[in-house]
Structure 1
Amino acid sequence: MRSGPAGVAIIGAGVISSHYLRHLSDFPDTRVLGVADLDTGRAAAAAREYGVPVSGDVDTILALPEVEIVVNLTIPAAHASVAMAALRAGKHVYGEKPLTLDLVEGEKLLAEANTRGLLVGNAPDTFLGAGIQSAVRALRAGLIGTPIAATAMMQNLGPESWHPSPEFLYQRGAGPLFDIGPYYLTALVAMLGPACQVAATTRRTGTHRVIGSGPKAGTSFKVEVPTHVTALIDFAEGPTASSTFSFDSPLRRTMIEITGTEGTLSVPDPNTFAGPLSIRGARDDDWRELPVEGTTAGRGLGVLDMARSLRSGTPHRASGALALHVLETMTAIIESAERGEFLPIRTEVPPGDPLPEAWDPYAPTLH
């Protein structure tokens, strides 16, 4: 078993990579050793900005013997192939969401990792932030009694107004469900346990959209996926959730509320790492805020938790099993809308322990 900080490499130097590079370069338990991209010039620029010693193409980065974890930040269509190449090079893999485009690919990926004794992790890791972790602890402490139901909502007019290249966000593997849904569904599973069945309706508003900013502003592109999704989700432990994921609404809303036998919990935006977290009991006249304790460091927490797990032999939390369960849930939502019936969720995910309140990403633990 290796010791000391875990060697990490980034594949995909797009918009989200700066968040990972900044945090993983700052965490003392991870060392960023390489950056790869199809555009090797872009990889080189990212490497220079963050002091990463090696840049180049994927093969160059996978050949680095010191790299233990590959962070796969490619577009969704490339998630499976890049992750599989990393596993076959003997690297653990942590990827952006979704895990893969479909369930069969995801199952093959986890089977390959299991055969090779390697770990797979996956975004989002926002549920490891102080906000959702404090909500998990509040629910386990029984502050609202027994959870009965949840309401989850994410709606806006879509990313084309601000994203310079939003086309991939309207292709297979994206849209409001596969792009933003993982934040909400992962948080719901962390708080309420695994899903067991879903029913849904979807719609696609328009066949084309227009880029609103950047060098391609005014360019029209094709919409291939539903832009408004409504789903009912039943959880194995009893609660149910109604959820909406939309790129069609001029009213921006983000929310998760969980109703229990003794009160309601208003949960922070699961696309963030902080609070606020509020509760309203059955006899309360208004909401009151609960303490939010934990880290708000940002993207990369899942990679760090994996790195520490590699050294300690303990399970990591943003796991491949959790990502596969969320992927099956999203896939079943789309299929349910097409078939007009409830569909079961068969994948299982073991319950994860919340992060300790004192878990500190900036305190070195790997010597």
Structure 2
Amino acid sequence: MSNGPVGVALVGAGVISGQYLRNLNAFPDVRVLGVADLDADRAAAVAREHDVPVSGTLGTVLALPEVEIVVNLTIPAAHAAVALEALRAGKHVYGEKPLAMDTDEAAKVMDEAANLGLRVGGAPDTFLGAGLQSTAHALRAGLIGAPVAVTAATQSLGPESWHPNPEFFYQPGAGPLFDLGPYYLTALVSLLGPVTQVAADTRRARDQRVVGSGPKAGNAFPVDVPTHVNALLDFPGTATAAATFSFDSPVNRRMIEIIGTEGALSLPDPNTFEGPLLARGLHDKDWREVPLSGTTAGRGIGVLDLARSIRAGTPHRASGALAFHVLELMAAISGSGERSEFRRITSTTTAPEPLPADWDPYAATLS
């Protein structure tokens, strides 16, 4: 087994790469060695900005023997192809959401990794932040008794009012379910375990939307996906959940509430790493804030946990199995909404063990 910092290369030098690079460069247990992009000039500029020694094509960074993990930040349509190429080059893979465009592609990635004895990890890693980790500890400590029911919602009027290029949010593979759903579904599965069946109803409020900002402001574009999704999820032996994912609501909501036999928890926005986490007992009149413990370091802590787990020979938390299960949930919710039927979920996973109380992303643990 190798020792010392784990070598990492990023593929995809878009906007999100900056957040990953700032964080990964600050973690002493990983060492960023390369940045790749279809646009070689962009890869070079990002590498220079973040003091990464090598830039170029995917092949360039895969040829670096010290690279052990490839962080896949390409567009969703390329996720599976890039992951398979990295695995075949002998690298572990950590990908941005979703794991692939569909479960067939994702299954090929998972099977290839298993055959080669390599690991797959996947975003979002927000469930490893202080807010949701504190929730996990509170549930395990029995703060609200046994979970009974969950209400979750992410609602807005959609991104076209502020995003200069919002068209892709309304194409297959996006919409509120596939864009924001991974944060909510990953949070719920990480806390409550796998889902066995889902049902859903979907709507599309308008056939066209209008760009609201930037050089294309005023341009109309088609809407090709449902923009309001209501879903029911069955967590066997624990809670049932009702979840809403909407780009049609003038009321902005980002919430998860878990009702238990002895009280309730109001969780932080699962697209963040922070709080607040609120609790109330069965007869309390008001919510009270629960003290948080854990990291708020941000995107990349899933990569760091993967790196440390590789060295320690232990399971990593933002796993491919978790990402695959969430992808199947979204596909099943979408299919249920089209056909008005319950869908059984064939994949499974386990709720990851919470991070240790002394887990510090900035303290070197690898020898």
Q: TM-score, normalised by structure 1?
A: 0.97
The verdict on how the C-alpha distance between 1:162 and 1:41 changes in structure 2, with shifts beyond 3 A counting, is farther
1:262 aligns with 2:257: no
Which residue number in structure 1 is paired with residue 137 of structure 2? 137
Instruction: Report how many residues are paired.
Output: 367
Which one-letter code corresponds to 1:310 in the other structure? Answer: I
Which one-letter code corresponds to 1:285 in the other structure? Answer: K
Which residue number in structure 2 is paired with residue 41 of structure 1? 41
Structure 1 unaligned residues grouped into runs of 5+: none
Which residue number in structure 1 is paired with residue 300 of structure 2? 300
Which residue number in structure 2 is paired with residue 149 of structure 1? 149
Within 5 Å, which residues of 2 pair with 1:68-87?
68-87=68-87
Q: TM-score, normalised by structure 2?
A: 0.97
Which residue number in structure 2 is paired with residue 353 of structure 1? 353
Measure the CA separation in 2 of the matches of 1:66 and 1:221. Answer: 45
Question: Conserved in 1, the CA contact under 8 Å of 2:325 and 2:348?
Answer: yes
Where 1:93 maps in the other structure, the secondary structure is strand
Question: Conserved in 2, the CA contact under 8 Å of 1:101 and 1:172?
Answer: no
Task: Give 1:108 shift.
Answer: 1.1
Which residue number in structure 1 is paired with residue 365 of structure 2? 365
Deviations 1:251-281 (A, max 9, x none): 2110000001110100111000011111110
Which residue number in structure 2 is paired with residue 112 of structure 1? 112
Which one-letter code corresponds to 1:121 in the other structure? Answer: G
The verdict on how the C-alpha distance between 1:63 and 1:205 changes in structure 2, with shifts beyond 3 A counting, is farther
Which one-letter code corresponds to 1:272 in the other structure? Answer: T
The verdict on how the C-alpha distance between 1:42 and 1:213 changes in structure 2, with shifts beyond 3 A counting, is farther
The verdict on how the C-alpha distance between 1:143 and 1:321 changes in structure 2, with shifts beyond 3 A counting, is same
Which one-letter code corresponds to 2:258 in the other structure? Answer: I
Within 5 Å, which residues of 2 pair with 1:173-252?
173-252=173-252
Task: Give 1:356 shift.
Answer: 1.0
Within 5 Å, which residues of 2 pair with 1:24-39?
24-39=24-39
Which one-letter code corresponds to 2:66 in the other structure? Answer: E
Task: Give 1:54 shift.
Answer: 1.1
Measure the CA separation in 2 of the matches of 1:5 and 1:208. Answer: 49
Deviations 1:7-38 (A, max 9, x none): 11111111211110110111111111111111
Question: Conserved in 1, the CA contact under 8 Å of 2:191 and 2:351?
Answer: no
Which one-letter code corresponds to 2:82 in the other structure? Answer: V
Which one-letter code corresponds to 2:248 in the other structure? Answer: D
Which one-letter code corresponds to 1:325 in the other structure? Answer: H
Task: Give 1:214 shift.
Answer: 3.6
Where 2:132 maps in the other structure, the secondary structure is helix
Structure 2 unaligned residues grouped into runs of 5+: none
Measure the CA separation in 1 of the matches of 2:123 and 2:149. Answer: 25
Where 1:237 maps in the other structure, the secondary structure is coil
Deviations 1:312-350 (A, max 9, x none): 000000000000110111111011111111111111102
Which one-letter code corresponds to 1:326 in the other structure? Answer: V
Which residue number in structure 2 is paired with residue 341 of structure 1? 341
Task: Give 1:66 shift.
Answer: 1.3
Where 1:269 maps in the other structure, the secondary structure is coil
